[in-house]
């Protein structure tokens, strides 16, 4: 019998029924008061999520990458210098994107799985000032949450703009646009908010707007000034035909998220993260990456020595319909990743761990049946008691 796959990947995350219903409801025509109210509501909620009173938040029809591309296209001119600390797949991709637009990219390089050291970034900026620092908050390939507050501080002290890829972290871990001095932060609909893929959001500070006025990189579809002109209409609009259904779903997703609020989401993500980590350890598996107690979005787990990690993710999917993420780049075949941010409950994690236990046994790795489930239950019961 066909059943939906059980997604335990770091995005797209499972979509709640309320969101599915909202995005399956009749279209609200994208020019007029109905869509205007929808956009205003979504934008207001996102500002709350970004923790900003001062920034503009623009909504674009694209996946997160489009939002990142918009930041590079709008803030810079060819030849502008930026600093990109590299510690995984997504920071490396940010570098490629900047280079595609003719920027000169300087780097501070780390082994994948490392937490970036603010002192190193400060030293690099002191040696060679740049126009901006490009950061990735949740390095989804390794699970590491980078210390954005401290990194933004050293960038601000050096007079550089701070541009953050928060695609897999906004709404999952703490973020403060105003409080941390961020200039651009990009999020996506399909990650911590558990809406469908298709909308990127971009928070933009006054300093970033100022940079965009003199920047000469080409832009048309992602021209911020055009988005802003339409967003400021009496009934806010997108310049181009937006992903209306996704926007309707995103409104429902935000309403659901804010039923409990940001703090409750943080507590839940931290708890689910601990449960996955304790569960994996109870099966004799090693965890990958620094700063495990802060890494609430996704856990990278090393495969046992004699089993290829991709075989684990392939087998658990074939046998149990459970989708884990494989390792990327140099981690391919070495780690598999379990996502635990967004619309996940305790029992979603438990059934994922149960499937993992059976899969490891099938592949010849000795496990004590129920060990990971028991470890996760212990985390949940302790959380309830505290």
Site residues (CB under 6 A) for ligand PLP? 11, 63-65, 90, 136, 138, 140, 165, 167-168, 188
- Please say which residue, 184 or 283, places its beta carbon nearer to ligand PLP: 184
Cα(239)–Cα(326) distance, integer angstroms: 37
Give 104: exposed, middle or buried? Use CB within 10 Å, 0-12, 13-18, 19+.
middle
Q: Closest separation between CB of residue 322 and ligand PLP, Å?
A: 19
Closer of 89 and 380 to ligand PLP (Cβ): 89
> Closest distance between ligand PLP and the C-beta of residue 141, in Å?
8
Whichever of 23 and 140 has its CB closer to ligand PLP, that residue is 140
Which CB sits closer to ligand PLP, 100 or 216?
100
* Least distance CB 167 / ligand PLP (angstroms): 4
H or E stretch covering 322: strand 322-323
User: Least distance to ligand PLP from the beta carbon of 196, Å?
Assistant: 11
DSSP-derived pairing of the beta strands 199-204 and 56-61: antiparallel
What is the nearest approach in angstroms of ligand PLP to the Cβ of residue 94? 8
CB of 198 to ligand PLP, least distance (A): 9
Which is closer to ligand PLP, CB of 142 or CB of 238? 142
Tokens of 243: 């992903």
User: What span, in angstroms and rounded, lies between the C-alpha atoms of 88 and 115?
Assistant: 10
Residue 203 φ/ψ, nearest 5 degrees: -95, 135
Interacting residues of 265 by C-beta distance below 8 A, sequence separation 6+: 171, 172, 192, 257
For helices 224-231 and 206-214, the axis angle rounded to 10 degrees is 130
Interatomic CA distance for residues 25 and 273, integer angstroms: 34
Nearer to ligand PLP by Cβ, of 140 and 359: the residue is 140
């Amino acid at each position: 019998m066909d059943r939906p796959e059980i997604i335990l990947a770091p995005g797209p995350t499972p979509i709640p029924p309320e969101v599915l219903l909202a995005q399956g409801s009749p279209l609200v025509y994208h020019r007029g008061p109905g869509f205007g109210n929808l956009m205003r509501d979504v934008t207001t909620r996102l500002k709350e999520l970004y923790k900003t009173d001062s920034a503009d938040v623009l909504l674009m029809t694209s996946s997160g990458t489009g939002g990142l591309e918009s930041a590079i296209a709008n803030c810079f001119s060819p030849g502008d210098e930026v600093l990109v600390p590299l510690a995984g797949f997504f920071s490396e991709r940010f570098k490629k994107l900047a280079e595609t637009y003719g920027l000169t990219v300087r780097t501070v390089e780390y082994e994948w799985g490392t937490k970036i050291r603010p002192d190193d970034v400060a030293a690099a900026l002191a040696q060679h000032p740049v126009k901006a620092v490009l950061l990735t908050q949740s390095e989804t390939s390794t699970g590491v949450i980078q210390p954005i507050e401290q990194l933004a501080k050293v960038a601000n002290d050096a007079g550089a703009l701070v541009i953050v890829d928060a695609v897999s972290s906004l709404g999952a871990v703490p973020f403060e646009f105003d409080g941390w001095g961020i200039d651009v932060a990009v999020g996506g609909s399909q990650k911590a908010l558990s809406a469908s893929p298709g909308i990127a959001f971009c928070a933009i500070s006054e300093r970033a707007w100022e940079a965009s006025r003199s920047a000469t990189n080409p832009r048309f579809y992602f021209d911020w000034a055009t988005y802003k002109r339409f967003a400021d209409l009496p009934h806010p609009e997108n310049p181009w035909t937006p992903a209306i259904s996704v926007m309707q779903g995103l409104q429902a997703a935000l309403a659901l998220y804010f039923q409990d609020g940001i703090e409750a989401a943080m507590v839940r993500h931290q708890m689910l993260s601990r449960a996955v980590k304790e569960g994996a350890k109870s099966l004799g598996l090693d965890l990958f990456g620094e700063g495990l107690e802060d890494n609430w979005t996704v856990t990278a787990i090393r495969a046992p020595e004699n089993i290829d990690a991709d075989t684990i993710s392939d087998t658990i999917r074939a046998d149990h319909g459970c989708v884990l993420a494989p390792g990327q780049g140099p981690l391919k075949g070495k780690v598999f990743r379990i996502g635990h941010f967004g619309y996940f409950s305790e029992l979603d994690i438990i059934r994922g761990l149960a499937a993992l236990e059976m899969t490891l046994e099938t592949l010849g790795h000795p496990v004590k049946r129920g060990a990971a489930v028991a470890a996760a239950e212990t985390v949940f019961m302790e959380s309830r008691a505290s």
